[in-house]
Amino acid sequence: MVNSPLREAIAGIHGKSWLDEAARSSLRAADSKFFGATSDPLLRVEMRGPRRIGVHDTAVVAIAIQDATAKLGHVIRNPHQEWTQVRKKDRELALLIPRGQSGSTLFFGFPPPEEEQGESLLPEHDGPSLSETATRELLEILPGSSEDDAALDAVLGQRTTVRSAVSDIVKAVDETAAGLHLEFTSVGDERLRSQLSTEHAAVLRDGLRETRTDTREMSLTGRLDGVRTRRRIFYLELETGGEIHGAIGPEAELMAEIRRYLDHRVVAAVESEQVETMAGRRGHPTYRLLRLDPAPSLFDDES
C-alpha cells in the first residue's frame, strides 16, 4: 500500500475542537481522492532543498519529469531513432496525470493502457502503459542513492535520447536548488526508488556539457551558386533543396576549379563538422570544400 502523507497528517491532529475536526475532514476527503485506489500505479516526487518550495519550483519539476518520460517513451516506441526535442504527441503518448500535492511532494498517476492515445507499446498488450514503462525506465537510470556514483558514469554512457531526458531532470534540480527523491509504486505494491541530489546533478551537468565533434566527408551534388574570393567562402545550391556555404582551402588549384565551375552543376567533396554535447544538443554544421568535379549529365549515362 502507498504511504499517504495525508493519513500521517490526520494522525498528527490530536485536538477535538471544530477547527481540528474540520482539518481532519478535509484531509480525509483529500486522502480518499488522491489515495483511495491503492492498486493504481503512482509516482511520488519529493523535492528537498534549503529554501522554501514555491509554485514555480513545482511547475519546473513537473514539466521536467513529463518531458523526460516523454523522451523515453519516444525511444521505447522507436528504438532506432534518437530524439532530443519533445513534441506534443510524445507527451500525450507518455502522459503523466497530476494526482495532487502535499507540501513539497508531487503525486502523478497514469492512464490505463486502453486510454493511451495513439499506438500502444505492443499490439494488443495488456501490460503496463507506455507512461508507466517510461517512468520505470527513468527511475532505473537515475542514481539509487546519494552514494550511487557508478550510476553517473552509466548515464553518460547512455544513448543520446536517454542522456537528453536525464538532462531535463538535471536542469530542474539546478533551477530549484532542490534534490529529487522519486518513488514509483506499481500494481502489486512493487516499489522502485531513485534520487538525484544537487551534488549528483552538478556532476551530471558538467558531464553533459562536454562536447564531441562529428567529422565526416561527404559528396554533394548541386549548383555552385557563388563565391567570395577574399573571404574564401563558397555557396552551393543543393539538388535536394536548400543551400550550404563554407570555407575554401588555400590551394590555388581549388580556386581555379571554383572559377571554372561557377554557376555549373558540380559534385562537391566537402568536410562537415558538427559539435554535439553529451546531452544531445547539436551545433550548426560547418563545411570546408575539398575538391570539385563536374556533375555527370544525363547523356553521360547513355551507352
Residues 6+ apart with CB under 8 A from 298: none
Residue 126, pLDDT score: 57
Provide the domain limits for residue 200.
39-209
Q: Are residues 250 and 124 in the same domain?
A: no
- Helices 130-141 and 55-77 cross at an angle (nearest 10°) of 110
Total of domains in the chain: 2
Does 71 score more than 80 pLDDT? yes
Do 220 and 205 fall within a single domain? no
Residues 231 and 192 in one domain: no
Each residue of 229-238: b (16+ CB within 10 Å) or e? eeebebbbee
143 and 220 housed in the same domain = no
- Is 27 among the domain residues? no
Give pLDDT, residue 24: 65
Residues 142 and 220 in one domain: no
CATH classification at residue 257:
2.40.50.140
Select the more confidently predicted residue: 26 or 122.
Answer: 26
262 and 142 belong to one structural domain: no
Cell of 156: 553518460
Kindly report the pTM of this predicted structure: 0.67
pLDDT digit string (tens) for 108-125? 999 876 665 444 444 444
Verify that 96 and 198 share a domain, yes or no.
yes
Based on the fold, state whether residues 258 and 198 are members of the same structural domain: no
Model confidence pLDDT, tens digit, residues 152-177 = 888 887 888 998 999 999 999 999 99
